[in-house]
Structure 1
Amino acid sequence: MLKVGLLFISSLFCTSVIAQEWQDLQALLPKGTQVSYLVIDAKTKIKVASFQEESLRTPASVQKLLTATTAKLYLGEKYRYQTVIKGNKKAIKKGQYQGDISLYFSGDPTLTRKNIRQLLRNLKAQGINRIKGDFLLNNSQFNGYQWSDGQAWNDLGVCYTAPANAIIVNRNCVLGNLSLASEDATKATLYIPSYEPVDISSDVSVVSKAQRAEQFCALEVTRNSNNNYHLWGCMVPRERAFPLAFAVTDPNTYAQRIIASELQQVGIAVSGTVKIDSQPITPALKQDPASTLAVYQSPLLDVLLQQMMKESDNLIADSLFKTIGAQYFQQPGNFRNGSQAMKAILKEHGIDLENAYIADGSGLSRHNLMSAELFMSVMKFVYTQDKQLGLISSFAIAGIDGTLKYHRGVNTAALKGKVIAKTGSLKGVANLVGLVKGKTGDKLFVLMLNGYNPENSAVDANIPRHPKASVYLFEKAFFERIFH
């Protein structure tokens, strides 16, 4: 009994020493920053450093590591999204199609207007010049909210939060710009391509930097129904046009207008209308190859995961999240069943997310909660199963590609190519999960920084801070310590 007690005390002492050896780095962080980290030797599985690894934090985009792992395990590397036009080939007579034709969307984040045009051209090539019925756009693959619970409302108008609807065309994103007609212009000029079926108005004043500060003004957007937007507020003069990226609020209406236009362009008349259909496809129709009139397939899952992980693509992540829910439960996918499916699938492979809260696949929701300890359980699995999963190659590489190509926290010559990780950033959140190729072998790490204020680096009497304390200064020191 005494021996067991001494071993327990010794273990606590060693853990305390490990933590204390690294806590000196926290003086490099802005005052008030919440920090958790866990570093493990990949070969020996020995803990190198840890601090508050059980604390639940906001994960931001490192959540995509969970999505990528689950997708690879359950959907498989050969998975592709399929967008299919269904009908009855026997209904084609003398250039006319008798009845309705359905276009089944699958939540494919790669589907473009150009792809739809090709689908319709394939339809026309089968001798269809007129549809004596409706052209139905089926959105039954997903249901529920387009955005996850806990997303910031004022982010929803920009393209990195484009809605994960079953209907996705051109990433549900509209591009444009603001420019100045002349040097003395007092109002900015808005440009949106004429082919975009949206209504965007603008009343943006051009002011000096001092006036902007005095008036507390910024560039604002109001989102209304039917993809109607109003841009207002102010901007300062600039030589180049200011790029804009509007997230489509109503993907159904957006797709209806695009497809009505494309039908006309390819020369297919519709006696009825282009309208939304939410009736689930029947198993018999789904499995009947003779009913398929045209099909578009997305790139393979591995290609999607490369984009999702290296560039932190939110739309791909949330679409995959809902797709996992749909496939696992054999019902329309949504954020609720996506969460349950993810936990169940990972648990089947020995990864128990315990008290984690999973709201989405992208990490955009502020409701998500994960700990460094839980992320490490996923990271160890991904690392040891890399021959099967092949996910490490999708991580960004410091100074080379993805979100780490220019990341200030790893942009030293010593760390270039040595830190391989998934990043996660939101306001006040800076997380990294991955591995460091150190001098003594690979080290797996999870670093979670929450609640930091970059403008607050004041000295705390209890913790003397570096005069230029910042998240990036801390990251550099943290990774250099792991590397050496």
Structure 2
Amino acid sequence: MLAPLLCLATLVPLQAPAPIAARLERTLAAPSLKPATVGVRVVSLDSGKLLFERNSDKSLMPASNMKIVTCSATLALLGPSFSYTTGVYASGDDLILKGSGDPSLDFARLKTLAAAVKAAGVTELKGRLLYDASVFDTDVLGEGWQWDDEEFYYSAQVSGLSCDENVALVIVKPGAVGEAPTVEASPYFTVENKATTSDGKEQALSVSRKRGLNTLVITGTLGAKAEPKRTAITVEDPAPFAAFRFAEALRAAGVTVSESVVLAPGKTPDGAMPVASSVSKPLSQLAADFMKPSDNLFGECFLKTLGAIKGKKGSTSEGARVVREWLKSRNIPLAGFYQADGSGLSRMNLVTAQLLMGILRDRAGDANFRAALPIGGVDGTLKSRFKNTPAANNVRAKTGTLTGASSLSGYVTTKAGERLAFSILMNHYDREGGSSVARSLQDALVITLLDLPARR
């Protein structure tokens, strides 16, 4: 463990001044952390010295701090100018929508793509509309993901061809009292509306999707004077959904597409003629779209993209192998590390604060990585944290939350001007206070670090 760490830069143990260390220890002695395992590591980026440490070699669930691993490796290996290209090809009478693994592809870009198809001289689709998602494997869910999360937006399925983050908006509006409310949803879904409109303003409505199907189930009651209920529901098998949306875009662009057009999977054959393409934003910008809101789909697509481009296939396991080799090449300690997915949604992920510190130190000079991190009190998942404190608009860090796991790792500059990197991992804290208590303790630790005095 020590030898590879020394290759990064020698860490000379130096405890924080006693008053600061005592404040850190008091925070870590909070009653809600009594049953917890907490890993903490704080290092000066200016001197390379270890300032504070607690269980930093313990293997813990990182939650969305796993995104630090995925983002840093993706930027380093693919480069900030990398972008995804979604193409349309013609093969006989068929059109093929070929995915590249782009998690940012949305309906607006599909409409622009459809207009380009029309401008290329395609006025009618006489054959099938094929969808090619073969850049990734067919595993649409991550290892260890919870089955009862599958319909929720944060657990969207992963595909080589995505649209609107593989989520659709469902809007339920009140009807007449005693009658069913109205449901606005993509015609791609089948709707089972079992709900009733009641008198008043109550909203006791449930919107769900049957597991394994694109069937929406609406139950409960919605008051006649209630606001519409809006729910983001994941799509089962995203690639055909993207093709369905592209057919809609083609029609809107003036291309004749039969309502009964055949949508079918198919690999783009050699010799297929390119018709049009849509290019994503560069990775430097996609990284911020990934990290600031903590977007799980981006993490999964990035990891599979690494497997497809830098490895042998577009799978999570191959992407994780590529990441591990990159970490090894950077002399970052791998003991206790296991990557089950790219986002941190899986409870099978394991990291140490020491490993995250290794990445933070290695990437400290990467402006694109730093710019992708949420800023305290300003944006992303830190927008509501650190407000009206000296850490506001100072701390840049990645948050992480799962049931019983909370984390915060990133950068902050002390009042004396010293640049620090820190990693805080909390597992199995008292559930009574929930993750909000864990987050408040993390914030207290970071704010305490700001008071570290200047050192010669």
Q: TM-score range with shorter-chain normalisation?
A: 0.7 to 0.9
Q: Quick one: which amino acid aligns to residue 280 of structure 2?
A: S
Look up the match of 2:158.
164
Partner of 1:68 in structure 2?
A: 71
Deviation at 1:81, TM superposition (A): 0.6
Note closer, same or farther for the CA distance 1:188–1:269 as it changes in structure 2 (3 Å cut): closer
CA RMSD of aligned residues (A): 3.3
Give yes or no for contact 2:336–2:352 (8 Å, CA) kept in 1: no
The residue that corresponds to 2:245 in the other structure is 258
Counting matched residue pairs gives 432
Cα 1:399–1:71 shift into 2, 3 Å: same
Among candidates 437, 446, 456, match of residue 479 of structure 1:
446
Normalising by structure 1, what TM-score? 0.80
SS of residue in 2 equivalent to 1:480: helix
- Structure 2 CA distance, aligned partners of 1:202 and 1:273? 27
Structure 2 match to 1:113: 107
Deviations 1:259-280 (A, max 9, x none): 3333444223469943333436
Contact 1:219/1:235 (<8 A) preserved: no
- CA drift at 1:132: 4.3
Q: Distance in 2 between matches of 1:207 and 1:23?
A: 55
Task: Please name the residue that 1:201 is paired with.
Answer: 192
State the shift of 1:219 in Å: 4.1
Residue from 228, 236, 239 that aligns with 2:215 = 228
Instruction: State the alpha-carbon separation in 2 of the partners of residues 201 and 272 from structure 1.
Output: 23
- Structure 2's unaligned 5+ residue stretches are 1-11, 452-456
How far the C-alpha of 1:477 sits from its partner, in A, is: 2.5
2:398 corresponds in structure 1 to 422
- CA positional deviation for 1:140: 0.6
- 1:204, distance to aligned residue in structure 2 (A): 4.8
Q: Which runs of 4+ in 1 moved over 6 A?
A: 11-15, 17-21, 205-208, 234-238
- In structure 2, what residue type is equivalent to 1:422? K
**1:73-113 deviation line (CA, Å, top 9, x unaligned):** 1111111110111236xxxxxxxxx4433221112122122
Secondary structure of the residue that 2:194 maps to in structure 1? strand
Does the 8 A contact of 1:206 with 1:236 survive in 2?
yes
Please tell me the residue identity of whatever aligns with 2:393: G
Correspondent of 2:286 among 298, 304, 309 = 304
Structure number with bigger Rg = 1
1:192 paired to 2:159: no
Report if aligned partners of 1:129, 1:267 keep a CA contact under 8 Å in 2. yes
Cα gap change, 1:199 to 1:46, in 2 (>3 Å):
same
Candidates 312, 325, 330, aligned match of 1:344:
325
Change (3 A) 1:267 1:398: same
Q: Judging changes above 3 Å, is the alpha-carbon distance between structure 1 residues 99 and 243 closer, same or farther for their aligned structure 2 residues? A: closer
- Aligned with residue 450 of structure 1, among 404, 421, 427: 427
Once the two structures are overlaid, the 10-residue window that deviates more, 473-482 or 253-262, is: 253-262
Aligned position for 1:401:
379
Q: 2:84 aligns with which of 77, 81, 95?
A: 81
1:13 shift after superposition = 11
Within a 5 Å distance, the mapping from 1:15-414 to structure 2 comes to 22-30=24-32, 31-87=34-90, 98-181=92-175, 189=181, 191-193=183-185, 195-204=186-195, 219=206, 221-232=208-219, 239-265=226-252, 266-269=254-257, 273-279=261-267, 282=270, 291-331=273-313, 333-383=314-364, 385-386=365-366, 389-407=367-385, 410-414=386-390
1:454 and 1:238 mapped to 2: Cα distance?
37
DSSP-derived class of the 1:365 partner: coil
Task: Give distance in 2, aligned partners of 1:188 and 1:436.
Answer: 53
Give the superposition deviation at 1:175: 0.9
Counterpart CA distance in 1 for 2:224 and 2:127 is 52
Distance 1:12 1:349, change over 3 A: closer
Alignment partners' CA distance in 2, 1:76 and 1:32: 42
**Which sits farther off after the overlay, 341-350 or 291-300?**
341-350
Most deviating of 422-431 and 124-133: 124-133
Structure richer in helix, relative to its length: 1
* Residues 120 and 276, structure 2, Cα contact 8 Å, conserved in 1: no
C-alpha distance in structure 2 between counterparts of 1:412 and 1:186, whole Å: 49
| Cα pair 2:181 2:222 within 8 Å, conserved | no
* Structure 1, unpaired ranges of 5+: 1-10, 89-97, 458-468
Instruction: Kindly indicate whether the alpha-carbon contact (under 8 Å) linking 1:107 and 1:141 is maintained by their aligned counterparts in 2.
Output: yes
Q: Report the identity percentage.
A: 25
Q: TM-score, normalised by structure 2?
A: 0.84
| Post-superposition offset of 1:25 | 1.5
CA distance in 1, matches of 2:377, 2:369: 19
C-alpha distance in 1, partners of 2:445/2:180? 45
Q: In structure 1, what is the Cα distance between the partners aligned to 2:138 and 2:429?
A: 33
TM-superposed deviation, 1:228? 1.0
Opposite residue 342 of structure 2, the aligned amino acid is G
Which residue of 1 is the match for residue 3 of structure 2?
Answer: none
Instruction: Give 1:399 shift.
Output: 0.8
Displacement, 1:181? 4.7
Aligned AA (2:437) = S
Judge conservation of contact 2:60–2:427 (CA < 8 Å) in 1: yes
- Which secondary structure does the structure 1 equivalent of 2:29 belong to? helix
CA drift of 1:126 comes to: 2.7
State how far apart, in whole Å, the 1-side matches of 2:161 and 2:70 are.
20
Q: Secondary structure at the match of 1:102?
A: strand
Deviation at 1:456, TM superposition (A): 5.2
Structure 1 pair 234/13, CA: closer, same or farther in 2 (3 Å)?
Answer: farther
